[in-house]
Amino acid sequence: GAGVSQTPSNKVTEKGKYVELRCDPISGHTALYWYRQSLGQGPEFLIYFQGTGAADDSGLPNDRFFAVRPEGSVSTLKIQRTERGDSAVYLCASSEAGTSGPSTDTQYFGPGTRLTVL
């Protein structure tokens, strides 16, 4: 079956612009996560959705970052007034995690979107 897909694979934008990054999780996965990986670093947690709601958004760096998952499937990460420091690979992951609470279900990652802010 299809894995997690992310579009676009690459995005180049200018400082101050608005960008949207899309994630299509594995079908049936209720949990969805966004991470950001800067050069030379490991993935850094941004936000976690359980169904349609953001269960934990403590990793979002500031209010320029926002994510939605309106129908509990596809998610969009939105970045306003982009800055050069936002340049990174944005990774999305999904898992089967059930609604009864957190679990250790394996998170499956997409290939990421490489965002470059000029």
Partner 1 sequence: DQQVKQNSPSLSVQEGRISILNCDYTNSMFDYFLWYKKYPAEGPTFLISISSIKDKNEDGRFTVFLNKSAKHLSLHIVPSQPGDSAVYFCAASVMNRDDKIIFGKGTRLHILP
| Binding stretches for partner 1 (CB under 8 A) | 4, 31, 33, 35, 40-45, 48, 55-56, 58-59, 91, 93, 95, 97, 101-112
Residue from 13, 31, 46, 3 nearest 99 by CA = 31
Which one, 58 or 62, has the nearer CB to partner 1?
Answer: 58
The rounded distance, in Å, linking the Cα atoms of 18 and 118 is: 13
Residue from 94, 92, 93, 95 nearest 113 by CA = 92
Which one, 40 or 70, has the nearer CB to partner 1?
Answer: 40
* Least gap, CB of 83 to partner 1 (angstroms): 23
Which one, 43 or 86, has the nearer CB to partner 1?
Answer: 43
Which one, 4 or 115, has the nearer CB to partner 1?
Answer: 4
* Least gap, CB of 41 to partner 1 (angstroms): 6
* Least gap, CB of 30 to partner 1 (angstroms): 11
* Least gap, CB of 37 to partner 1 (angstroms): 8
